[in-house]
Amino acid sequence: MIDDEWRKKLLKRQYRLVGNHSAVSTCNWMKKCLRCESCCYKQQFYGIKSHRCLQMTPALTCNHRCLHCWRDTSHFSTKWEGPVDEPERIVEESIEKHRELLSGFGGNEDVSEKRLEEAMNPNQVAISLTGEPMMYPKIDRLVEEFDKRNFSTFLVTNGTFPERIKGFEINPTNLYISLESTNKESYERFNNPVEEGMWDKLMESLDIIKDMDSRTVCRITAVKNHNTKDHEGFVELIEKGDFDFVEVKGFMHVGDAMERLERGCMPEHDEVKEFAQKISGNSNYDYRDENKSSRVVLLKKS
């Protein structure tokens, strides 16, 4: 799944590879939190500790080629290829590689020693680093393994694997479904799925999650001039999934997305908030919070 060219790119971008198809990396918010500067909006919205968060993926591949994705999608495979590592190995090696990435912060006078010590023992995992994690055939057991170690689990999916959502015996703490399109035509153009029938699978997933015990979150990436005009279409999908929360987050013109979309597609925070307010005003979701640095607004089902 990881050829030599792809491996070099990942390592250059400060990823640490785990086994045959997984990876970890530290985000800028963790680094800021270790320096006691500021923390991720997930801490603000949901109460997790940014410096104790492990960011990883069990699948360095995806079944979408989204226009707004900041990753290099040219290396993604259309289907799972190669061996399937055991969840226990992935969890243990992810924690090990996470600690390796943090070891360079030791002795830095700007870093809180207490927070760094806590960061070495993460208790929160964001399964969302890159790719589509639900492509990993043992995703249910991976969540279970993290749960055994008392991790909270935030899993982000594009919703094209309804059968695996059904398969969870232990549900993720937060199950995110990403939505950027409101109908099949725009979905196929903007999300660029690699197979037929994925829109129907997404719709099936929205029907399934309304009965889950997880805290469910709809994440809408707001891309100016592309999907911010059809707030009514988003309301319909949000209410279909009966999500607990909705995050409306602005597209960021970074990484490989700069080659696919113009900088003008990146909305200001006020524009993201205005879009979120239109969704709120036409649904049973109320404004809950916002974070200007991340250009994100949180709505909660009333």
How far is residue 112's CA from residue 131's CA, in Å, rounded to a whole number?
32
Strand ranges, E, within 161-301: 174-179, 215-222, 245-250, 285-291, 296-301
The pTM score is 0.94
User: pLDDT of 51-78, one tens digit each?
Assistant: 999 999 999 999 999 989 988 777 777 7
Q: What is the pLDDT of residue 205?
A: 98
Q: What is the DSSP letter of 224?
A: T
Structure-block tokens of residue 116: 């760094």
How far is residue 210's CA from residue 239's CA, in Å, rounded to a whole number?
9
At residue 167, φ and ψ (nearest 5 deg) are -80, -5
| Crossing angle of the two packed helices 198-209 and 231-241, in degrees rounded to 10 | 60
Q: What is the pLDDT of residue 121?
A: 96
- Helix and strand numbers, DSSP H then E, in the chain: 11, 10
Residues 6+ apart with CB under 8 A from 244: 215, 216, 217, 300, 301
The chain-wide mean pLDDT, for the chain, equals 94
Nearest Cα neighbor of 92 from 18, 163, 28, 165 is 18
How far is residue 191's CA from residue 123's CA, in Å, rounded to a whole number?
32
Kindly tell me if the per-residue pLDDT of 1 is higher than 80.
Answer: no
For the residues of 62-75, what is the DSSP string, one character each? -SB--TT--S-GGG
Nearest Cα neighbor of 192 from 205, 201, 204, 180 is 180
Q: What is the DSSP letter of 228?
A: S
Residues 6+ apart with CB under 8 A from 49: 33, 39, 43, 118, 123, 124
Q: Which residue ranges form the domains of the chain, and what is each CATH number?
A: 4-301 (3.20.20.70)
At residue 252, φ and ψ (nearest 5 deg) are -110, 130
User: pLDDT of 197-233, one tens digit each?
Assistant: 999 999 999 999 998 989 999 999 999 999 999 999 9
User: pLDDT of 33-49, one tens digit each?
Assistant: 999 999 999 999 999 99
